[in-house]
Amino acid sequence: MSARAGIVVTGTEVLTGRVQDLNGPWVADRLLELGVELAHITICGDRPGDIEAQLRFLADEGVDLIVTSGGLGPTADDMTVETVARFAGRKLVLDNRLEVMIADIVSRLMARFPNVDADAVHAANRKQALVPDGAHVIDPVGTAPGVVVPGKPTIVVLPGPPRELQPMWPIAVQTAAVQEAIAGRTAYRQETVRMFGLPESGLADTLRDAERSLTGFDRLEITTCLRRGELEVVARYEPDAAESYGELMTLLRERHGEAIFSEDGSRVDDQVARLLGGRRIATAESCTGGLLAARLTDLAGSSAYVAGAVVAYANDAKAGLLDVDPALIETHGAVSEPVAEAMADGALSRFGVDTAVAITGVAGPGGGTAEKPVGTVCFSVKLADGPAVTRTLRLPGNRADIRERSTTVAMHMLRRALS
């Protein structure tokens, strides 16, 4: 069996759902990349007894490595290091080098806040320089250091903010204690295929057929996930099972070739960004309220091809900002293909671009009719050097689902038009 690990995410704000857990899934992916089997992810509040209970549970499960996140700050409820030290049977000792480093970081931060009692802040932050005896210290990215505590299991203690945790992870992995803990890991390959326009049931039928007909299918660890209206298929396997994966891909291409848009794990956002090279795009949005423009500009470098966006929610905004003829809205309704096309034309003209996408729809929960129920969304993609591609879909889900799925549909329509 491969080396096994568990993750403990601490923080009452995470436990109660006020803050989304970003660290657990991120560390889980890094462990899988290393070939380490993930046994459990647990979440607990900022209470020593609860943190220790999670550590004890994972240790009893026989994991080789435990990774914790959170609870490393200067305040009284930051107790992870103290609890881990007690669990590992190690005393807390003051790391003088670390104390000087943290004091320097805090002094620079306090220079921005002249009215704050600097001595009190320094005293509070001094506790962050207390580390378990014999632990490997990872220098802080913020003010909180990380520590790696050798043992059975080895425990990696990292801060809660992802911007601090993520840069510290590769340093933790290279420590002798972690390398020893994961020495039994299995080398895996991991491939990701993405599909659009295929229901989950269709993929499930194909995978059941593959299980019955393909040799070595049982050597493939396959997980599927519906994300943003796309199907994501992740296959993990040992290198000598590559032929079995090849057989699976042949079957997927035969059955669902038109739905597959990525065999290398690339996202539609990345593909659209590449296809927009040398072009300029603008969006005209109603029901999505700028979500498509936000998605296009999520990627660094998007200023090279995104010119701008118009959020024309009200009918008079569609007319005034995008030159949509009010008679068109009166005749066909704001949620209609003619209006979507007119909005795309307006975006092309207003921004002087060669590519435009328009979205108008009924996101709900109200506003639907028998003819145009909630979830009815009209899309139009228009290229200055080509015809418009316009379609109407009925999208499932609540308001948030419909708005997000609308951006996914628009991205795929744009990908196909540019391809």
Secondary structure (DSSP) of 125-159? HHGGGEEETTPEEE--SSS--EEEE-SSSEEEEE-
Residue 240: DSSP 8-state: G
Same domain? 308 vs 405: yes
Q: Which domain-ending residue is among 182, 211, 227?
A: 182
Name residue 333's amino acid.
G
Q: What is the pLDDT of residue 1?
A: 61
Which tokens in the block code for residue 293? 């423009």
Name 213's Cβ contacts closer than 8 Å, sequence gap at least 6: none
Q: What is the pLDDT of residue 383?
A: 97
Q: What is the pLDDT of residue 416?
A: 96
Report pLDDT digits (tens) over 37-64. 999 999 999 999 999 999 999 999 999 9
Q: Which domain-ending residue is among 245, 265, 285?
A: 265
Residue 338: C-alpha distances to residues 307, 324, 381, 409, 416 (Å): 24, 10, 12, 18, 21
Same domain? 135 vs 50: yes
Same domain? 238 vs 275: no
Q: What is the pLDDT of residue 75?
A: 82
Mean pLDDT score across all residues of the chain: 95
Report the CATH number at residue 313: 3.90.950.20
Residue 239: DSSP 8-state: G
Report the CATH number at residue 120: 3.40.980.10
Q: What is the pLDDT of residue 338?
A: 98
Question: What pTM value is reported for the model?
Answer: 0.83
Q: Which domain-ending residue is among 219, 238, 265?
A: 265
Same domain? 22 vs 145: yes
Same domain? 17 vs 157: yes
Q: Give the chain's residues under pLDDT 70.
A: 1, 118, 122, 124
Residue 100 exposed, middle or buried by CB count within 10 Å (0-12, 13-18, 19+): exposed
User: CA dihedral defined by 6, 11, 16, 21, rounded to 10 degrees?
Assistant: -60
- Looking only at the bridges linking them, the beta strands covering 306-311 and 281-285 are parallel
Same domain? 300 vs 370: yes
Residue 204: give the domain boundaries.
189-265
Q: What is the pLDDT of residue 123?
A: 72
Residue 230: C-alpha distances to residues 119, 258, 260, 268 (Å): 53, 13, 10, 10
